[in-house]
Chains A and B, each alone.
Chain A
């Protein structure tokens, strides 16, 4: 996967090239409704994102999302959205995380991960290992529960 080749690539082409480069770290690369979705093994996420930034030019990380699938093991998806500024290419990188475990923080690669990781922790409760300030972002200190988990109630009865 080379920087020069990006010009002639589309999203899914870039995702497949990534899979070719990391045959063991990348679990799958497929097209879901026009989005190139790549599943990466949890332990390799930092390695893959660092490679994408330094060697390929996916230098712009703009969103980290936590998604809860209560009926699935591992329970959570952490979704990273990356793009290049030179070409109209975008990758959706996903990591599966089990409840009670953590993911490596990518803060030392992308500064934009600072608040994004804190928000993901705040909303679905997946901690990021190595983040300098792993505290809640929107909810207050001492708040119980994680609002965007599916088992968090939308309304509660007044006591």
Chain B
């Protein structure tokens, strides 16, 4: 009978993707129990938001999941727009769809690179970071920042997008499939990669739904649920794409789902660029919502969520009719996926814990809020 041992993983462990602390109970190499400690990056975003105006809060949403700031901005401003009852013109919606998908490409590229690195393969991370840089440069062109964009505002966006942006995006998008093929030659049929992944961290369909898992993790377990199809927002009902679904719910399926999503995003970007209408991209009375003048939002409440690269990001906003929200609740995908980690790693080996955490694709800024 092996002696039980409790070891501490994180918060400085490189494969916990930030400051997640996992306490593992081991019997030899096998995990028999685990506990987690979070909150080391807690900045009280929900509390801060209660004292800021609606337009200022956009900057806070950048700091949630700092890898996908654009989609955070989009989700938040759309929630407020729903509360205000304003609509933005088709060009604005197309631009949001286009940029949301570019952000998904950035996120999944980063996932592939870092996931491979966590499993011991160093090469893919250089390739994916090299290619991700192209999109970051494009985002820098329109917003002036590389990660915390604050580009989308309630009622529209900060500035009109220059034609050069669309041309360069098209160039990039034409090469995207080639880039994905390059990552795949290194990983998808790699024997070591498959051995480390297949059958590891299996999540059953029932467990996934009961735990409220979301995004690629949910879809890898065989649940074809994607908000872009289930509750179409922006221009997704006009786009032709498929939902990526896995069968076994293991780490390998979660990787495959993301590779498939990369390819689907490529299709959506191409369609957005092709159909991009001309005209205004901000709502009619955008002047009313411009910084620095604060605006009032009618009393009521709204829950709005979109399919962010990591899963469903939702904002639950309660307004009391003033310039700042009464209460904001951020429902973030990393939070809900990490909460289910204990059940996924029970009975696994320590090395598989690393693979499982990495396959969830978590960002602690979003988890700790």
Contact = CB atoms under 8 A, between A and B. Distances in A.
Interface residues of A, number: 35
A62 B336 contact: yes
B340 interface: yes
A59 B211 CA distance: 10
Interface string B231-259: 10000000000000000000000000000
A9 interface: no
Contact of B329 (A63, A68, A85): A63
A53 B336 CA distance: 19
B234 to A, nearest CB: 15
B220 to A, nearest CB: 15
A111 to B, nearest CB: 5
Given A62-B312, A81-B331, A139 B42 contact: yes
Interface string A60-75: 1111010110000000
Interface in A103-159: 110-112, 114-116, 123, 136-140, 147-148, 152, 154
Interface stretch (A15-23, A28-36, A41-49): A28-36
Nearest to B218: A85
B48 A59 contact: no
A12 interface: no
Interface in B11-42: 38-39, 42
Interface string B326-352: 110101000110011001000000000
A140 B39 contact: yes
Contacts of A92: 301, 303
A54 to B, nearest CB: 12
A95 interface: no
Contacts of A110: 210, 212
A66 B193 CA distance: 43
B88 interface: no
Interface in B202-221: 207, 209-212, 214
A32 B82 CA distance: 12
Contacts of A81: 303, 314, 316, 331
Contacts of B44: 147
A75 to B, nearest CB: 14
A113 to B, nearest CB: 9
A79 interface: yes
Contacts of B39: 136-140
Contact of A59 (B209, B302, B335): B209
A111 B336 contact: no
Interface string B350-363: 00000000000000
B98 interface: no
A11 to B, nearest CB: 11
Given A67-B327, A154-B48, A111 B312 contact: no
A148 B46 contact: yes
B318 A67 contact: yes
Contacts of B369: 138
Contacts of B175: none
A63 B331 contact: yes
Contacts of B105: none
B301 A37 contact: yes
A119 to B, nearest CB: 8
B192 to A, nearest CB: 33
A62 B214 contact: yes
Contact of B302 (A34, A68, A85, A139): A34
Contacts of B230: 85, 88
26 contacts: A33-B83, A33-B300, A33-B301, A33-B302, A35-B301, A60-B209, A62-B212, A62-B336, A63-B331, A65-B316, A65-B329, A67-B318, A67-B326, A79-B329, A88-B230, A92-B301, A111-B207, A111-B210, A111-B211, A112-B212, A112-B340, A114-B339, A138-B38, A148-B47, A154-B47, A154-B50
Q: Pick the 9 closest A-B CB pairs, nearest first.
A: A112-B212, A138-B39, A33-B300, A115-B339, A65-B329, A138-B42, A63-B331, A62-B212, A88-B231
Given A68-B327, A123-B46, 19 more contacts: A35-B303, A61-B212, A62-B312, A62-B336, A63-B316, A65-B316, A65-B329, A81-B303, A111-B207, A111-B211, A111-B340, A112-B339, A115-B335, A115-B336, A138-B39, A138-B42, A139-B42, A147-B44, A152-B47
Interface of B: 38-39, 42, 44, 46-48, 50-51, 82-83, 207, 209-212, 214, 223, 225, 230-231, 300-303, 312, 314, 316, 318, 326-327, 329, 331, 335-336, 339-340, 343, 368-369
